[in-house]
Structure 1
Amino acid sequence: MNEPTPEPAHIPDPSDFAPFSRRVLSGKVALVAGATRGAGRAIARDLARAGAYVHCTGRLTSERPSDYGRSETIEGTASLIAGDGGLAEAHVCDHLQPAQISHVLDRIEAGHGRLDILVNDIGGEAYVDWGTPFWETELDTEMRLFRAGLLTHLHTAHTALPLLTRNPGGLHIEITDGTATYNANHYRQSIFLDLTKTAVSRLAFGLGHELEKAAATAVAVTPGWLRSEMMLDHFGTTEDNWMRDAFDETRTGPPRDFAISETPHLLGRSVVALAADPDRHRFNSTTQDTHGLAVHYGFNDLDGSRPDSWRFITALENDPAADPREFR
């Protein structure tokens, strides 16, 4: 018997989150590296909604389109922030080029004389060659993930931290994929993805130790199954219909497990909550997940839920019929 189709969840006003209405980050300056789309775009928008002046970087512009078929641009992110009533600047920047990062930091220093929040969100998952054994992959092609997902983070941190540490209380956030516990016990289906994402978490761990001397904090944060624009397009669904489509047995996609997915704004709200917390140093050197931070700080995703993706994924190992709706 087919299960009843869930009704679409009511989507409240995205500004319905206390730190936004209180503008708790007014006067703060943030840099979001990799803010063109998905998680980075949501993080940039949510930091701006909370009052921060956000510098957004990315490679993709209307003149330089995506090499994997995406239409989003870094100027588009700044335009959305302006439409939200926030303050932002867009910078075209390839974070594999330290000179370009230095130019952005020079602009930030000239304009503000400070940097309070740095978010390293550049990913590279679009370059994964799923299902191909490591020794059969094209090394130069697959190294794009490693370079985009890790080397950019090293370049950005090395260039930006002198300004971030100029004043006490700086916050450095690494966006990764997978909790420390999950990644310690599970192979991530690709040598390059596995190495890159575990290394990003380890980068936050190491930077936390070094930033301690500068009264600053480093944290890695992982989303669950991110319901980004690219993921919605991949499965041929929309933000209005994703839950219904996940349980529609007449469709080939999205899979049923997509019902555990979360919007990029759950990650954006996680970043805002950390940035607004005067006691955030308790998380220094750790890897946190969006569900745990949502519980700790008392916020929800846009539909009012708190998806617990990593607990659901683990539960599937013992019960393939586990219902994702019971983990929201």
Structure 2
Amino acid sequence: MSKQGGVLEGRVAIVAGGSRGIGRGCVLELAANGAKVYVLGRTLNEGEGALPGSLSKTVQEAAELGGTAIPVVCDLRSDDQIGAVFARVMKENGRIDILVNSAFDLPEGCGNAEPFYSTPISYWDDMTGISARSVYVTTWHAAQAMLPRHQGLIVNISSQGSREYFVHATYGIAKSALDRIGQDTGNELAREGIAVVTLWPSFVLTERILAFDADEWGVDLEGAETPRFPGRAVVALATDPKVVARSGRIYSTRQIAEAYGFTDLDGGLPKGAPDPQTHYPLMGS
């Protein structure tokens, strides 16, 4: 049972990449607000992945908040596995209201300041395979489920790395593709009453960020977001009856917070990413 009396009671959500990081934060906020959340990822139990976090832990934390989350082991590189998940969710519920695409695969060794020509070509498949292709596939399946009811929300978690260099050339390529998927599918689906919104968080205190040396990466964590702040942005969008007007647009999570009036866990607002509507830095910046 989903949490009774929550603003999202009766809604069914899928979060791709919910075992840790921003995806986990989205699961917790959606579940805490009453949605029934299917959590997709590859790491079922703690200790099975390279980083802390697992489907089981996320589901347990959702239950502690009074919510319902269902773990689903799924390799997002597999079209067949993705299709099977959506078929299962539709069979069990007859509807899908919310899809959050938060998965991203940053290969081991990426971030060591090595240029693309010194790293394996497989980095391309690792990053674009999850950030672009799998998002296109999940969005396609979500559209099939949402079109008969002419309503639904799809949120893609991207970053300002789509417009400026960060970590590796393929990172920016993958995030740029993700932004464009949101813009173009959002344009087409808005005609059918379905919203596709892309979010840029600023630096987020994820398991990965906390595991690295922020100074070595050149990352300033002052004013960083908790993983649940983007989750609160998703909830705000999901409860807006006019959200389709935002379809195809890109927003920072802070912009969404200012528009809807929510804060991070500490009661304040993080520094926030740049305004996606105006952020086009010069090459190399």
- Shorter-normalised TM range: 0.7 to 0.9
Aligned 8 A contact 2:28 2:62 in 1: yes
Aligned 8 A contact 2:46 2:52 in 1: no
Rate the CA distance shift 1:56–1:183 in 2: closer, same or farther, 3 A. Answer: closer
Aligned 8 A contact 2:252 2:274 in 1: no
Aligned 8 A contact 1:173 1:220 in 2: yes
- Is residue 89 of structure 1 aligned with residue 42 of structure 2? no
Rg larger in 1 or in 2?
A: 1
The residue that corresponds to 1:147 in the other structure is: 129
SS in 2 for 1:138: coil
1:208-261 CA distances to partner (integer Å, 9 max, x unpaired)?
A: 1111232111110111001112222324xxxxxxxxxx9xxxxx6897821121
Letter in 2 for 1:177: S
- Is residue 191 of structure 1 aligned with residue 169 of structure 2? yes
Give me the whole-angstrom Cα distance separating, in 2, the residues matched to 1:272 and 1:52. 10
Q: How far off its partner does 1:86 sit?
A: 0.6
SS in 2 for 1:31: strand
Aligned 8 A contact 2:11 2:96 in 1: yes
The residue that corresponds to 2:17 in the other structure is: 34
Which of 16, 40, 45 does residue 62 from structure 1 map onto?
Answer: 45
The residue that corresponds to 2:245 in the other structure is: 282
Give me the whole-angstrom Cα distance separating, in 2, the residues matched to 1:143 and 1:253. 26
Gaps of 5+ in 1: 1-19, 236-245, 247-251, 318-328
- Larger deviation, residues 125-134 vs 115-124: 125-134
Give me the whole-angstrom Cα distance separating, in 2, the residues matched to 1:256 and 1:57. 28
SS in 2 for 1:95: coil
Which of 154, 157, 174 does residue 172 from structure 1 map onto?
Answer: 154
The residue that corresponds to 2:80 in the other structure is: 99
Aligned 8 A contact 1:29 1:115 in 2: yes
SS in 2 for 1:259: coil
SS in 2 for 1:166: helix
Give me the whole-angstrom Cα distance separating, in 2, the residues matched to 1:24 and 1:105. 23
The residue that corresponds to 1:25 in the other structure is: 8
1:271-293 CA distances to partner (integer Å, 9 max, x unpaired)?
A: 00000111112211011111101
Describe how 1:102-141 pairs up with structure 2 within 5 A: 102-127=83-108, 128-141=110-123
Aligned 8 A contact 1:129 1:137 in 2: no
Give me the whole-angstrom Cα distance separating, in 1, the residues matched to 2:147 and 2:231. 23
Hey, which of these two has a bigger chunk of helix by percent? 1
Letter in 2 for 1:174: N
Rate the CA distance shift 1:311–1:218 in 2: closer, same or farther, 3 A. Answer: closer
Which of 218, 234, 238 does residue 271 from structure 1 map onto?
Answer: 234
Give me the whole-angstrom Cα distance separating, in 2, the residues matched to 1:173 and 1:153. 10
Rate the CA distance shift 1:311–1:103 in 2: closer, same or farther, 3 A. Answer: closer
The residue that corresponds to 1:162 in the other structure is: 144
Rate the CA distance shift 1:93–1:260 in 2: closer, same or farther, 3 A. Answer: same
The residue that corresponds to 1:212 in the other structure is: 190
1:174-219 CA distances to partner (integer Å, 9 max, x unpaired)?
A: 11012xxx844x3335220111101111101011111123211111
Give me the whole-angstrom Cα distance separating, in 2, the residues matched to 1:146 and 1:254. 22
1:37-74 CA distances to partner (integer Å, 9 max, x unpaired)?
A: 010011011001111111111011239922xx213211
Aligned 8 A contact 2:7 2:34 in 1: yes
- Larger deviation, residues 197-206 vs 124-133: 124-133
Rate the CA distance shift 1:30–1:256 in 2: closer, same or farther, 3 A. Answer: closer
Q: How far off its partner does 1:75 sit?
A: 2.0
Give me the whole-angstrom Cα distance separating, in 2, the residues matched to 1:126 and 1:262. 23
TM, length-normalised to structure 2? 0.88
Give me the whole-angstrom Cα distance separating, in 2, the residues matched to 1:174 and 1:85. 26
Aligned 8 A contact 1:114 1:166 in 2: no
SS in 1 for 2:148: coil
4+ residue segments displaced more than 6 Å: 252-256
Give me the whole-angstrom Cα distance separating, in 1, the residues matched to 2:274 and 2:190. 31
Q: How far off its partner does 1:114 sit?
A: 0.4
Q: How far off its partner does 1:103 sit?
A: 1.6
Q: How far off its partner does 1:116 sit?
A: 0.5
